[in-house]
Amino acid sequence: MTEPRYTAAKVRPKEGATWVLTFRHPMKTDQRGKPGRKMRRSAGTTDEARAEELREQINTLLSDESWFSVHRQSAAAELFDDVVVRAFYEDLTTPTTRSFDVRSQKIGLPGKEDGYFRVLLIGPTGVGKTSLLRQFIGSHPERDRFPSTSASRTTISDIEVITAPGEYYNCVATFFNEWTVQTLVYECVADAGAVLWDEQPDAKIAERLLQHRDMRFRLSYVLGSWGQGLVAQADDEDGFGDEPTAFEAEGEDVPVAEEIARMQATLQGYVARIRVLAAKAKADLGVEIESLIKEDRDAAQDLFEECLQTLPDFDELVGDIMDELRKRFDRLNEGLTRRPGGWPESWVFASDDRDEFIRTIRRLSSNWAPSFGTLLTPLVDGIRIRGPFAPHFGNGERKLVLLDGEGLGHAKDSATGVTSHITSRFDQVDVILLVDTAKTPMLDTPTSVMRAVAASGHHDKLAIAFTSFDLLKRQANLPTQADQRAHVMATVNQALASLREVVGVPVIRAISRDIDERCFMLGYLDRVITDKNPAPAAELLRLLAHFEKVGFANAASVQVRPVYELARLLFSIQGAVAEFHSRWDAILSLGGAPNVRRAHWAEVKALNRRVALRIDNYEYRDLMPVAELLGRLSEWITRYLDTPLRWDGKQPSEEEAESALGLVQREVFKRLGPLAEQRLIEAGYGRWTRAFHLSGRGSTFERARGIQSVYIENVPVPGPVLDHRSTDLLREMQSLVGEAIEAAGGMLIGEALG
């Protein structure tokens, strides 16, 4: 038996409370990518002797490396208490179930076979996407305020609404797993400590602690805001969201004075502890900050942040915050299911009272500042509701599945990838509804969506809804509604023209043919629209009719067969990979490419962390390597697929050709995602991990070079003389595209690589 590297401890938050077991897990990495993740698990008892017995059992496991294997769980279950076995082996053998599947187990997602049409809403943040969803489901902007709206990102959860006839309203919500939340909390604490490299007031520390740097994860919703109940936060961005009237606020779940005082004391304690951690890290670093030149100062700051995060009290603070988050789930008295380790997995709720139903689920989606400290919004990764939802205009029930989610960031380059979480849903829906604002239509972000849809072969599903159309009448140069519509449509046609060379003329021609019928000008979405508002109601009804038209349209059976030449495919792969490398060399500041944003070193490190720790879909903000490679490959291969060598059999009509080519493109696209992830993430995971562990002077450059080496090694640019890496990539791509072409009824000819 080897000397134990880690030992367990037992702690009790307060007298009479349940004991908590803590230990570092030898088989789990921490947020620094190193073995020894700090674990905190309830002992399930207030009896100290019983808690001590469980602690000794964990120490027995920790002291013998023969237990350090997932295959020993069954043997451990025969010797140790179930609490101990779950704490030690959870997540090692239990597969990670997608939250989408968890929701589907509770409330199924119907499709065309059930008479429902699925609509995916996509659009930039702040354009009115959620306001449009409210109109579809008859959600009152003041009484209901669901889903929540804001000028900035309110939530990062998926919202799925099933408008189904019936008497009851049902809901299932799923939560981010504990590891993801703990990593986000870790980063918030690290950022709060990092600001103390220079002297800062408590309010600044609290700001960095309570709001994650990517503006998506806000601890203030759950823990309360700094100074809550004491001062008005006039400059708080959340103040631009939903604000109920005094009468409506009576039904809100808001913390009472005693709760606010306790939350403020807790936050003040966190800030004080962060100050102590920063002071200790500076002392350990042992340098005079004022005497350092810029390059040395940057390297010293990186070492300071690393030193801060390795202090034992740092992990204790993260653990204490996680304990506070766990307490907030106590408000969900019934319907809560938990993962093996006790972290919540899902929550279900049903009611025949619409007002009660909406009021209850708001605690999982609201952004109203006075409710801060009672909300679970940042911890929710998906909400699915089903019920007799219907708009206030028109008549008759409609069977719709409306899929909404986080708004897209405002890109500065239309080639910026669309997150794979969104593109993976293209194949599952009947309509892809791009929501944009008529005030500044078709900038880079919506153009990037149109680009991804076109390259995926799902362009026949595309529709575009322009919000704020009512605001255009204020412009003197657009006196009539026809002028206003022509102004918006000109930007659409301009965007399509810019994509001709990117995805090919045939695809853009197919979209352009009926694009006017697929564009909808919507206004007054912030109000209740009824049949008494004929103009805005008529356009919304036209949009709903379009959903049904596209949903009923059956894919024509392909009677024609495109034939492709293998040699041209190889040139397309070469062009796609070369473009990917050029863009990422610029992103990593290791090369030059026009109109490509250079990422800050901290963003690159954050991306590196997400890959090394396997969270957040391997993406950070607009740094999405898998989505980028998928985008470049799909675009170049779409241009290749649009021009087959010949047609086997009869010469197809234009419509028949578009239908056949779209089918091939969709088959290719759904195969490219797994390939991109395998090559960029799985095959290069060791290099990603080594890059993540770099620190100190020069680490920024070396990390960028390490990530670049992953791309070069696993997605090499094929040259005139093929080495084994390029040959392997070309073989795999050749096989993938060939299988997709055959699955869609086509043929690939030519001599394959040996």
Contact 273, 313 (CB under 8 A): yes
Distance CA 134, CA 526 (A): 9
The C-alpha torsion from 244 through 246 and 249 to 251, rounded to 10°, is -130
Distance CA 134, CA 122 (A): 15
Q: What residues contact residue 508 under an 8 Å CB cut-off, 6+ apart?
A: 454, 496, 497, 499, 500
Strands 462-467 and 519-521 turn out to be parallel
Q: Helix, strand or coil for residue 38?
A: strand
Distance CA 576, CA 715 (A): 10
Q: Which residue has the tokens 């009660």?
A: 356
Confidence (pTM) = 0.86
List the one residue out of 713, 737, 453 whose CA is nearest residue 577.
713
Q: Helix, strand or coil for residue 640?
A: helix
Band of residue 318 on the pLDDT scale cut at 50, 70, 90:
very high
List the one residue out of 56, 49, 52, 45 whose CA is nearest residue 19.
45
Band of residue 232 on the pLDDT scale cut at 50, 70, 90:
very low
Distance CA 347, CA 173 (A): 5
* pLDDT over 90 percentage in the chain: 44
Which segments of 622-653 does DSSP mark as H helices, in order?
A: 625-641
Q: Which residue has the tokens 């605001």?
A: 471
Residue 574, burial from CB neighbour count under 10 angstroms (0-12, 13-18, 19+): middle
Domain ranges of the chain: 9-89, 178-331, 561-749
Residue 590 is encoded by which pair of tokens?
Answer: 């290791």
pLDDT tens digits, 330-384: 888 789 998 877 789 999 999 999 999 998 998 898 888 888 999 999 999 999 9
Distance CA 648, CA 748 (A): 11
Q: Cα–chain-centroid distance for residue 539? A: 31
Distance CA 365, CA 345 (A): 16
Classify the C-alpha dihedral 486-492-493-495 as positive or negative. Answer: positive
Residue 477, burial from CB neighbour count under 10 angstroms (0-12, 13-18, 19+): exposed
Quote the crossing angle between the two packed helices 178-194 and 202-210, to the nearest 10°: 160
Out of 77-91, 282-296, 545-559, 727-741, least confident range: 282-296
Distance CA 169, CA 361 (A): 11
Q: Which residue has the tokens 């076979």?
A: 113
Distance CA 353, CA 351 (A): 5
pLDDT tens digits, 7-24: 888 888 777 778 888 888
Reported residue count of the chain is 754
Specify which of 247-261, 457-471, 683-697, 720-734 reaches the highest per-range mean pLDDT. 457-471
Query: What is the model's pLDDT at position 237?
Result: 43
Residue 69 is encoded by which pair of tokens?
Answer: 């294997």
Helix (H) or strand (E) holding 461: none
List the one residue out of 563, 202, 156, 590 whose CA is nearest residue 381.
156
Q: What angle do CA 552, 557, 560 make, to 5 degrees?
A: 145
More confident residue, 236 or 33: 33
Distance CA 604, CA 587 (A): 9
Query: What is the model's pLDDT at position 754?
Result: 59
Query: What is the model's pLDDT at position 236?
Result: 44
List the one residue out of 251, 260, 255, 259 whose CA is nearest residue 146.
251
Q: What is the DSSP string of 95-119?
A: ----HHHHHHHHS----GGGT-EEE
List the one residue out of 622, 592, 263 whose CA is nearest residue 415.
622
Band of residue 244 on the pLDDT scale cut at 50, 70, 90:
low
List the one residue out of 463, 466, 474, 469 whose CA is nearest residue 523.
469
